Amino acid sequence: MLKSATDEVEWVAVGAREFLTVGGLLPDAFPSYARVFHPAHLDGGEVRWAEVAAANGRRAHAGMQWVALTGSWELYNNVAQPGLRNEPPVVGSLPRIQARHLVKVLERFTTTADACFYGVWDGFTDLDLPTEGTATLTMPGDRRMLLLSGRLADASLIFDQSANLWWPKDRAWCVATDIDLNSTYIGGSDACVEAVLGEGSLETWRASPNDRIDGASDTLNPLPPRAA
């Protein structure tokens, strides 16, 4: 059961830095980082970004952006590609299946799986979350979040919305999913991140705190022109 939390705010917020970079999403305190791409779907089956890149003559790489792979800025709309994808990657939430896979990896790299913290954007008004007496934290980009606590197993159980930030009490790693992104970022030890990168059920690439998280990160594929 998720409960309100009143500490840990300073470590997360002070540890973050420039907005629109990986280091603005989670603390710049880890030796390694990884990016997890939320899958697209075709008739319920997962479609990886690398598949979309190959089908569209684009290059799959750590900084690829969905708009560059698909040629469309309509991130929030279902811009289908017949035979390849009919549902875009989820924006603002790590899909539950991917969260479960990630939890199985991360639980091996913490001694406090029963004591974790969760930052959930306070704009999710449809979630029945405790607010009275709950601490808040504000991340770069004016992302204001409620700070909750619970078990690591709760990471994929906040209804249909994943936490936007989550980390164990021992601060062995941290996971961030910005409300406007269709990727999730993880910071942790070298061994932890290597395990995430080696998890075959997830589409991942190595990342760094200086990496951009917007369209500017895709230096290998052309971005489509914005509509006038």
The domain ranges of the chain are 3-36+91-215, 39-89
**Amino acid (one-letter) located at 182:** N
Give the burial class of 88: count Cβ atoms within 10 A of its Cβ; 0-12 exposed, 13-18 middle, 19 or more buried. Answer: buried
Kindly report the pTM of this predicted structure.
Answer: 0.93
The alpha carbon of 83 is separated from its chain's Cα centroid by a whole number of angstroms, namely: 27
52's tokens:
């979309």
Mean pLDDT confidence for 178-204 = 97
Task: Kindly report which listed range (101-105, 144-148, 180-184) carries the lowest average pLDDT score.
Answer: 144-148
> Which class for 36: exposed (0-12), middle (13-18), buried (19 or more C-beta within 10 A)?
buried
How far from the centroid of its chain's Cα atoms is residue 50's Cα? 18
Determine what percent of the chain is predicted with pLDDT higher than 70.
92
> Residue 79 in contact with residue 33, Cβ under 8 Å?
no
Contacts of 21 (CB under 8 A, 6+ apart): 209, 210, 211, 212, 213
Q: What is the mean pLDDT of residues 135-161?
A: 82
pLDDT of residue 1: 45
| Range 107-129 average pLDDT | 90
Is the Cβ–Cβ distance between 129 and 102 less than 8 Å? no
For Cα atoms 25, 192, 160, give the angle at the middle one, nearest 5 degrees. Answer: 55
pLDDT tens digits along 70-96: 988 875 566 788 899 989 999 999 999
Per-residue confidence (pLDDT) for residue 10, from 0 to 100: 74
Give yes or no for a contact between 133 and 4, defined as CB atoms under 8 angstroms apart: yes
Q: Mutual orientation of helices 190-197 and 96-106 as an angle, nearest 10°? A: 140
Distance CA 11, CA 159 (A): 26
Q: Is the pLDDT of residue 180 over 50?
A: yes
Query: Mean pLDDT, to the nearest integer, of 154-181?
Result: 87
Residues in the chain, how many? 228
What confidence score (pLDDT) does residue 3 get? 54
Strand partners of residue 150: 116
Predicted confidence (pLDDT) at residue 4 exceeds the cutoff of 60: no
